[in-house]
Copies of this chain bind each other. A is one copy, B any other.
Amino acid sequence: MKIFVLSTLVASALIAGSLQSEAQKAGLKPIPASKTALTKLTSNPKNPTTTAKVELGKMLYMDPRLSKSGLISCNTCHNVGLGGSDGMSAAIGHKWTANPHGLSSPTVYNAVFYSQQFWDGRSPHLEDQAQGPIQAGPEMAAPKEHVTGVVNSIPQYVAMFQKAYGKDVKITFEKVADTIAVFERTLVTPSRYDDFLNGNAKALTTPEKKGLKTFISKGCATCHNDIALGGTMQAFGVTGKYKHMNVGDFKGDKNGMVRVPTLRNITQTSPYFHNGQIATLGEAIKEMGRIQLGVSLTDEETASIETFLKALDGRKPNITYPMFPASNATTPKVDVN
């Protein structure tokens, strides 16, 4: 009996080892298991992650008073409770304005692992990205002076900035965005898939392992690779046209390239694609096969890939709802118009 158990374990390790190598060759990488390694990987050397910055960044991320109206926070469209997105096809912002290009809000979770930010990849990192939606007219619509005015008017916020950056800190718009980015850098979600790639052969079920094999063999990892299973710029509609390209006028970057979305927590971020026009994961997988890989995936292959993708649901950080410091007479007034 003991011999049988041992040999089963060895066999399982060998099979798993083989699949792990295959995944590695396909460019797939796990979120590091070691907390130190993860912090090193996700921290910005120019603005290292500290507890004080993360706590402050979380408050700023969730504080709707940073918007012109006082109603919209980063968390409105990148809701940490809704897989880091909003469940909408096109994002809705200030004055109930839909995204003018019909673009869907990407998830904030694991965005730290992207090599570019925004669907057209125009931003190199989260610090830069965070400045965009706060100011954008159809999103939070806040002039820089509104944001710095709010934060500097609230003594507890000033004290938190001083705790995070030192007594002489100047609270600029860029500093606010930097601090939000520090929080976002902590929003990573290790999953059973990572446990598997990090050496726990039993972390995935047999059907999930089969799904991972299908995922690799069909070529999905050509674009959905590295830690994020996405996050790089890739061509748009390589072997076919999107069925739903009639929504918006988005054409990618100047070369027609689009930032590949992460597949982590993909069960939580429907509707799918940059324009949110695909409702289910099964449809999304088939459509990607058709227009990006030029393959017609069978129902069985599609289901197998979907089974694997479900194993990418990750463990979320525990987030305590922030109790925001109160506004006062000097705080800039909100303006819903």
Chain A interfacial positions (CB closer than 8 Å to B): 62-65, 69-71, 76, 79-83, 86-88, 92, 95-96, 98, 267-268, 270, 279-280, 316, 318-324, 326-329, 333-334, 336
Contact = CB atoms under 8 A, between A and B. Distances in A.
DSSP majority for the A interface?
loop
Contact of A65 (B64, B71, B87, B318): B87
**Nearest 3 A-B pairs (CB), nearest first?**
A96-B96, A319-B321, A268-B326
B324 A81 contact: yes
A335 to B, nearest CB: 10
Nearest to A90: B336
A321 B320 contact: yes
A65 to B, nearest CB: 6
B79 A92 contact: no
Given A65-B82, A81-B323, 9 more contacts: A64-B79, A70-B87, A80-B321, A87-B334, A96-B96, A96-B336, A270-B326, A279-B333, A319-B321
B98 A86 contact: no
Contact of A96 (B64, B80, B95, B322): B95
Nearest to A79: B64
Contacts of A329: 279-280
A147 to B, nearest CB: 15
Contacts of A80: 321, 323
A71 B88 contact: yes
A174 to B, nearest CB: 24
Contacts of A95: 96
A92 B76 CA distance: 15
